[in-house]
Amino acid sequence: MKTDTIAAIATAVSDSGIGIIRISGDEAIDIADKIYRSKKNNKRLKDVKSHTINYGFIVDASNNELIDEVMVAVMKSPNTYTKEDTVEIDCHGGILVMNRILETVLKNGCRLAEPGEFTKRAFLNGRIDLSKAEAVMDIIHSKNEFALKSSINQLKGAVSDKVKSLREDILYEIAFIESALDDPEHISLDGYHDKLEQKSLLISAELKKLIDSADNGKMLKDGINTVIVGKPNAGKSSLLNVLVGEDKAIVTSVAGTTRDVLEESIKLHGVGLNIIDTAGIRDTSDEVEKIGVEKARKYAGNADLVIYVVDSSVPLDENDEEIIKLIAEKKIIVLLNKTDLDSKVSQEDIYEVFSNVIEAYDKKDITVIKTSTKENIGIDEFELSIKNMFFNGKIAVNDEIYITSQRHKEALIEAYDSMQLVLSSLADYMPEDFYSIDLMSAYASLGRIIGEEVGEDLVNEIFSKFCMGK
């Protein structure tokens, strides 16, 4: 099938050492030939071997004006990113020169690529499936080393291979049922009920494991949404400054200094934290402070992790009880701060207040750490406790699969629900064609992850989020 030839700048449009203009399509090499002049001979790009680098110049074919000295990579189909003929022009990285070369390429027969169109063509031409295509963008936007490793694993096929394996298992059972129903004289369903039940339980367990990985996967990818709460002057802003490594928040001895939220993204042992420092929570008549307190309540309600900072030099009061009510359903780390001063609050005092406020409270659910942001005491223990709380003390992607896409999670949940219907039909000893219907539904849901059961609109939406040259 003949397609139009597309081009775009594939590197950041800013002053840099190198810029790349990428061309892909049936006429990519012919169009590049029109504007390329070899440095030493008159060799044409269409005559060079595939996957070679060629040194020369780019000229404006209309007036033979030299634009830049370049290296041109020629890659012939099908062994290219898009499985089409591809040319990449490596030029100097100035904004003007990159745009001039792109304009010259477009004048000679190319169309400007849409966002993500190169990767979209790789998907449509069968080089990668949809989950691998999404991994390309995840790699570009990785915020920490674990997100990067997870995205690379997905690009290598960790997710798609697992999905394809599950689909093969499901398809085998569908085919067996259909064959047995079509040819009962030669294919018997005797004893198949128990066999399918065991197989469905195994598939359901695999799907559940993938679904359960999604929360950690999202946090590895996007960071843990972390909110610092506490009464005024407990040391919340000082904690933020210690974690960030610079004075981002104003710190004074005056209670209520922080009136609005402060947001920072940091990495602790490779884990991303999206930290929000909030106004001290207390009853106040100050209208501006009231707004800050309401914002603190709102952000705490949406947090993955709440860091509750307690001034251990001041006795607990009714404001602490209100804070605990607010954060009761969250993952909580309590920092008993200002331990360099005379202590008025102990760990047992914290446990007692929690038990008074929260029904069915178990102190094993609460991590309490003695800290002093002034003396930098307890910070290492605090950082380690986050890793223990969210990742069981270790974060190693290796061969483990993390689901990082909400789209993938939703498809997995639908597939899991379909498998539960299969198990329900088995429990009720329904006719075999009932099993087949729900197995097919699970098969189709999994297909959406790798792009085999998706419509054109969804494909366009996914690739529209890519950058122009990718």
- CA dist., res. 53 & res. 56, Å (int): 10
The answer to whether 259 and 274 have CB atoms below 8 angstroms apart is no
Instruction: Please state, in angstroms and rounded to a whole number, the distance separating the CA atoms of residues 403 and 412.
Output: 10
CA distances from 98 to 13, 101, 234, 272 (A): 8, 5, 54, 35
For 303-322, write each residue's pLDDT tens digit. Answer: 888 888 888 888 888 888 88
Using only C-alpha atoms, the chain has a radius of gyration, in whole angstroms, of: 30
Q: Residue 396's pLDDT is what?
A: 54
Domain coordinates in residue numbering, the chain? 6-124, 135-218+403-464, 221-391
Determine the pLDDT at residue 346.
85
3-state helix, strand, coil in the chain (%, to 5): 45, 20, 35
Give pLDDT, residue 250.
Answer: 40
Tell me phi and psi for residue 391, to 5 degrees.
-130, 25
Q: What is the DSSP letter of 153?
A: H
Strand segments (E) across 359-427 = 367-370
- Contact in structure between 177 and 432 (CB atoms under 8 Å): yes
3 state DSSP class of 183 = coil
DSSP sequence for 190-247: TTHHHHHHHHHHHHHHHHHHHHHHHHHHHHHHH-EEEEEEESTTSSHHHHHHHHHTS-
C-alpha 89/C-alpha 57 separation (Å) is: 10
pLDDT in tens, 376-433: 888 788 878 877 777 664 555 556 788 888 899 999 999 999 999 999 999 998 888 8
106 touches 122 (CB < 8 A)? no
Q: What global pTM score does this model have?
A: 0.71
Distance CA 346, CA 290 (A): 29
Query: Burial letters for 321-355: b for 16+ Cβ neighbours within 10 Å, e otherwise?
Result: eebbebbeebbbbbbbbbbeeeeebeeebbbebbe
Which residue, among 217, 213, 222, has the nearest Cα to 416 in the 3D structure? 213
Tokens 């005056």 appear where? 254
Q: What is the pLDDT of residue 325?
A: 80
Q: Please count the CA atoms within 13 angstroms of the CA of 383 that sit on its side-chain side.
A: 16
Q: What angle do CA 178, 181, 187 make, to 5 degrees?
A: 95
At residue 264, the pLDDT reads 78
Residues across the chain: 470
What's the rounded Cα separation, in Å, for the pair 297 and 281?
8
Nearest to 203 by CA among 232, 172, 225: 172
With vertex at residue 420, the alpha carbon angle to CA 211 and CA 192, rounded to the nearest 5 degrees, is: 125
- In this prediction, residue 310 carries a pLDDT of 86
> Distance (Å, rounded) from C-alpha 203 to C-alpha 211?
12
Domain 135-218+403-464 falls in which CATH fold?
Four Helix Bundle (Hemerythrin (Met), subunit A) (1.20.120)
Neighbour-count burial of 14, counting CB atoms closer than 10 A to its CB (0-12 exposed, 13-18 middle, 19+ buried): exposed
Q: List the Cα angle 215/448/396 in 5-degree steps.
A: 35
Pairing of strands 52-60, 65-75: antiparallel
pLDDT of residue 103: 95
User: Chain-centre distance of CA 171, in angstroms?
Assistant: 30
Q: According to the model, what pLDDT value does residue 293 have?
A: 62
For residue 185, with 0-12 CB atoms within 10 Å meaning exposed, 13-18 middle and 19 or more buried, which class applies?
Answer: exposed
Is the CATH code 3.40.50.150 the one for domain 221-391? no
Q: Identical fold at 6-124 and 135-218+403-464?
A: no
Distance CA 368, CA 345 (A): 12
Which residue positions in the chain have pLDDT lower than 50?
249-259, 393
Highest CATH level, class, for 6-124: alpha beta
Return the exposure string of 186-222: e unless at least 16 CB atoms fall within 10 Å of the residue's CB, then b.
eeeeeebeeebeebbeebbebbeebbebbebbbbbbb
The pLDDT assigned to 184 comes to 80
Of the candidates 379, 387, 390, the residue with the CA atom closest to the CA atom of residue 241: 379
